[in-house]
Amino acid sequence: MSQPHRLRGHILTYSGNPFVQGWESTVHVRENSAVLIADGKITATGPDAEAADAPETRYDDHLICPGFVDAHVHYPQTAIIASWGKRLIDWLNTYTFPEEMRFGDPEYAASVAARYLDLALAHGTTSLASYCTVHPLSVDAVFEAAAARGMAVVAGKTCMDRNAPDGLRDTAQSAYDDSKALLERWHGQGRAQYAITPRFAPTSTADQLHALGALWSEHPDVLMQTHLSEQVDEIAWVRTLFPQARDYLDIYEAHGLLGARGLYGHAIHLEPRERDRLAEMGAGLAHCPTSNTFIGSGLFDLSGLAGSGQPTGLATDTGGGSSFSMLRTMAAAYEVAQLRGTAVHPAALLWLATQGSAEVLHRADEIGQIAPGCAADLTVLNLASTPAIAQRHARADDIWDAIFPTIMLGDDRAIADVWVAGQSRHSGT
């Protein structure tokens, strides 16, 4: 066993879901407290951590959080983030598909995977779920880069056999074969977990969706990730492609792609039947607020869905999302909820970006919270990282009033340190 190491600061912990049970009883900040880490894991918090004889790193007046968990990203879109002026289908055709064509080159895939993960770490994100491209080597690239950094990453080959350019299409059989081979190579290796990944219904034939549903039934312990009801014109297109379906979600269910380990990105324009069925199945949703506003998709019903107990995580959706920062994404989630009539408390926003996302990835026993036995994946926030934040912080009435300006105004300058599996990976201010 390695020598224990103690981190001291304000410690953020959870005892429940603030959207369901209320933030006052479920989210806690232990001021001037400590967390003890050893062998890549958290071994104690609070008084038990204080009692240990261990070297100490002090983060005075900083907030020690669980590492941020990004529930839905496209690492191959790193280079096209913040591209101008398109809605979903035009975005794919104009920016996404040409960029994804480049990932047939293993050197390019490796360079972007490394760049993306370093950007994620610089913004305090220690775990994520990523779509790759149709190329199996794009999956290898991100898992290899994550292993080199000790990160817990979920990823999968994006499968498409129609409505995509030559060079980005596979077939029903090759999608099954490639996904199965990648799953067997990577799932459970170190901190890697595989996700079966049909991009969305418009780019998969019924045969391909059925093949991937069959693969999921053979490996029910893995995740399945896809997109659902992002834009109204997308939904109209889906109706023409699957006229027999009751609604968008029904397409996935009919092909074996609805389940508790399913993770559905966006889910903005849901029919009542879809909401009920997702809740019945306990499926996970990924809320992507910067993407939803950047490409004009709509306003996700965070309070209604998460408040009803629907498993929900938070996501940047790089690169349709306009920021690598989960702080900026929390701020956008707050703003979107305000437009729907609810002011989400900062405690709930932090939970959503950590334990909420960990739960939809089915990894809450490992990541997303500061508790003994969990991985020592931690993000340390400087609560006065810029002059604008510092002057607001100075007027804070309580700890939450001190934290909220960093959520709303913070960026990578607020990331004082990032610990991954007990190792400091990014020392900022």
Q: What is the pLDDT of residues 204-241, one digit of tens each?
A: 999 999 999 999 999 999 999 999 999 999 999 999 99
Q: How far apart are CA 371 and CA 361, in angstroms?
A: 18
- The Cβ-side half-sphere exposure at 189, using a 13 Å CA radius, reads 14
Cα diameter, the chain: 66
Kindly state whether residues 135 and 284 are assigned to the same domain. yes
Kindly state whether residues 88 and 49 are assigned to the same domain. no
Kindly state whether residues 156 and 294 are assigned to the same domain. yes
Kindly state whether residues 90 and 24 are assigned to the same domain. no
* Boundary residue ending a domain (360, 380, 403): 360
* Boundary residue ending a domain (360, 377, 403): 360
Q: What's the CATH number where 241 sits?
A: 3.20.20.140
Kindly state whether residues 206 and 254 are assigned to the same domain. yes
What is the model's pLDDT at position 232? Answer: 96
Work out the mean pLDDT of the chain and round it to a whole number: 96
How many folded domains does the chain comprise? 2
Kindly state whether residues 24 and 127 are assigned to the same domain. no
Kindly state whether residues 299 and 247 are assigned to the same domain. yes
The yes-or-no verdict on residue 427 having pLDDT over 70 is no
What is the model's pLDDT at position 85? Answer: 78
* pLDDT range class, residue 15, cuts 50, 70, 90: very high
The yes-or-no verdict on residue 254 having pLDDT over 70 is yes
CA 107 to chain CA centroid, nearest Å: 25
- Cross-strand bridge partners of residue 69: 127
Kindly state whether residues 17 and 86 are assigned to the same domain. no
Kindly state whether residues 400 and 309 are assigned to the same domain. no
Kindly state whether residues 238 and 206 are assigned to the same domain. yes
- Average confidence (pLDDT) over 258-279: 98
Q: What's the CATH number where 387 sits?
A: 2.30.40.10
Residues 18, 27: contact at Cβ < 8 Å?
A: yes
Kindly state whether residues 325 and 216 are assigned to the same domain. yes
Q: What is the pLDDT of residues 17-71, one digit of tens each?
A: 999 999 999 999 999 999 999 999 999 999 888 887 899 999 999 999 999 999 9
What is the model's pLDDT at position 1? Answer: 63
Q: How far apart are CA 294 and CA 297, in angstroms?
A: 8
* Boundary residue ending a domain (360, 376, 393): 360
Kindly state whether residues 18 and 110 are assigned to the same domain. no
Domain that includes residue 390, residue range: 5-66+368-427
CA 374 to chain CA centroid, nearest Å: 18
Q: How far apart are CA 416 and CA 46, in angstroms?
A: 21
